[in-house]
């Protein structure tokens, strides 16, 4: 089975590696100043194409990267989330970014829960972190919903190294304890 056959599902979402037909929604998302504010800023279309292609390439190189998040009810691309660890990253991250028109629907914690299960169970990670801009209160709320806590301040690698980030997260044991308590194991 190819990694591009991978598909994870929640009640409302499909998580799968990015596909060519996702690009238009990806480009619109990353062109939205508010949606892109805490993830490196707006990208013009040619740069968005390169970042989209790079994400697909990371799937080939590492066997994991951000999933495209598809709403089952509509078939719409609603964001990207999942495991992430580029060169120089401060740890094994599960991150999330949802298109602004889909904010407030609970897609980030729903998808990130499944992606975290997958990272621990399939990738064998011992810790999951979330790198969060200190001003991104919505992502801190998502991290708390996942059971993560503030761990430390840190920095991302170049070109995002100018501003410190908060590093939130939890261990596999903490995640599994919570998963068992919620009856998800």
pLDDT for 127: 98
pLDDT for 76: 96
Alpha helices in the chain (DSSP H): 23-31, 33-36, 45-62, 107-121, 137-145, 172-181
Dihedral (CA of 26, 154, 137, 116) sign: positive
pLDDT for 42: 61
Give me the phi and psi of 157, to 5 degrees please: -75, 165
Looking at the whole model, is its pTM more than 0.85? yes
CATH code of 39's domain? 3.40.630.30
Range(s) of the domain holding residue 71: 3-181
- Helix or strand holding residue 106 (H, E): none
pLDDT for 89: 95
* 45-62 helix and 23-31 helix, angle to the nearest 10 degrees: 120
Give the pLDDT means over successive 10-residue stretches in the chain (185 positions): 86 97 93 74 81 94 96 96 95 95 95 98 97 94 97 92 93 92 79
* Terminal Cα distance for the chain, rounded: 25
Q: Which residues pair with 127 in a beta bridge?
A: 171
Question: How many domains does the chain fold into?
Answer: 1
Q: Is 65 exposed, middle or buried (0-12, 13-18, 19+ CB in 10 A)?
A: buried
pLDDT for 78: 96
């Amino acid at each position: 089975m190819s990694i591009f056959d991978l598909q994870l599902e929640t009640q409302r979402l499909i998580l799968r590696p990015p596909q060519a037909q996702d690009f238009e929604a990806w480009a619109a998302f990353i062109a939205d100043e508010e949606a892109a504010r805490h993830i490196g800023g707006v990208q013009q279309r040619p740069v968005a194409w390169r970042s989209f292609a790079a994400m697909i390439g990371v799937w080939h190189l590492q066997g994991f990267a951000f999933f495209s998040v598809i709403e089952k009810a509509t078939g719409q691309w609603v964001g990207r989330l999942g495991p992430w660890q580029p060169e120089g990253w401060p740890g094994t991250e599960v991150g999330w970014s949802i298109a602004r028109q889909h904010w407030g629907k609970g897609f980030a914690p729903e998808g990130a829960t499944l992606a975290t299960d997958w990272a621990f169970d399939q990738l064998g990670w011992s810790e999951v972190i979330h790198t969060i801009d200190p001003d991104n209160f919505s992502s801190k709320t998502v991290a708390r919903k996942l059971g993560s806590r503030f761990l430390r301040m840190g920095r991302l690698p170049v070109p995002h190294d100018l501003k410190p980030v908060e590093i939130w997260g939890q261990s596999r044991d903490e995640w599994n304890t919570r998963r068992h308590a919620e009856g998800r194991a």
